[in-house]
Amino acid sequence: MIVDLNVNNKKAIVIGGGTEGLRKINGLLDQDCQITVITSRLNAQLKELVSDEKINLIKSTIKDATILDQFNDVYLILAATDDRVLNRKLVEKGRSMGAFVYAADDPEISDFSYTSLVNYEGLIQIAISTSGKSPIMARKIRMKIERMVHRSINDSDISNIILQEFARKNAKRKINTVKERKLFLYSLIKDKNIQYLLRSNKLNEAKMTALHILNNWGKVNKP
């Protein structure tokens, strides 16, 4: 089962600053979570991320899982050291803390497996997973799908996603039921004027039109 963890504003800890650790850090950077990295190694990329205040860094030699005792309310722990036994101990400790856990070298003891991800404009993600059976094939298939996605999705689709997010947030304050909110959001996709504005790269005008429809929702016949 493929799931998309919501880590917004939650604490994530990456233990290990090597190649695998950096992959996991890079995967978290656009997730709006609080990233803490524990490592004894400090390379140029980590220094830059610290300087840009994108991560918190604890420079420490990791001897055992007690390094995690200083944390609380952690949502995600990624163990990416080059010590398989230590990774297992970190996972066990993290799980006892109530966190989702992942060991980079041992998917079988992890709470989830990483997918090969097609990421389009930071707004559309398509996950390809072999359930850990063949990461190489997952990456190969991802490259095929990536080409298909870039041919199939256009700027209007991206604008519709942005507009839908804007409209949904506003609709939650105006429309009480989920059913009515869905009807409103679908009406924007079907609205010829809004779709014309989006195709014409007039996103702000489309947003204003959507607000006008929202403000009059319930006063006129619903679609």
What distance in Å separates the CA atoms of residue 217 and residue 166, rounded to the nearest whole number?
A: 16
User: pTM of the prediction?
Assistant: 0.66
* CB of 29 closer than 8 Å to CB of 3: no
* Alpha helices, H only, 122-154: 135-152
What's the pLDDT tens digit per position in 95-116?
A: 999 999 999 888 788 888 777 7
What pLDDT score does 64 carry? 94
> Tokens 């990295």 identify what position?
37
> Would you call 12 helix, strand, or coil by DSSP?
strand
What distance in Å separates the CA atoms of residue 180 and residue 60, rounded to the nearest whole number?
A: 53
Decide if pLDDT at 2 tops 70.
no
> 2 φ, ψ to 5°?
-95, 125
Residue 35, strand partner residues: 12
pLDDT, mean of residues 172-192: 95
Residue-by-residue DSSP string for 42-73: --HHHHHHHHTTSSEEEE----SGGGGGG--S
Q: What is the mean pLDDT of the chain?
A: 90
Give percent of the chain with pLDDT exceeding 70: 97
pLDDT, mean of residues 15-28: 91
For residue 6, the one-letter residue type is: N
What pLDDT score does 1 carry? 57
What pLDDT score does 27 carry? 86
Residue 2 vs residues 30, 73, 93, 112, 113: alpha-carbon distances, Å = 19, 24, 24, 9, 9
Decide if pLDDT at 188 tops 60.
yes
What pLDDT score does 120 carry? 81
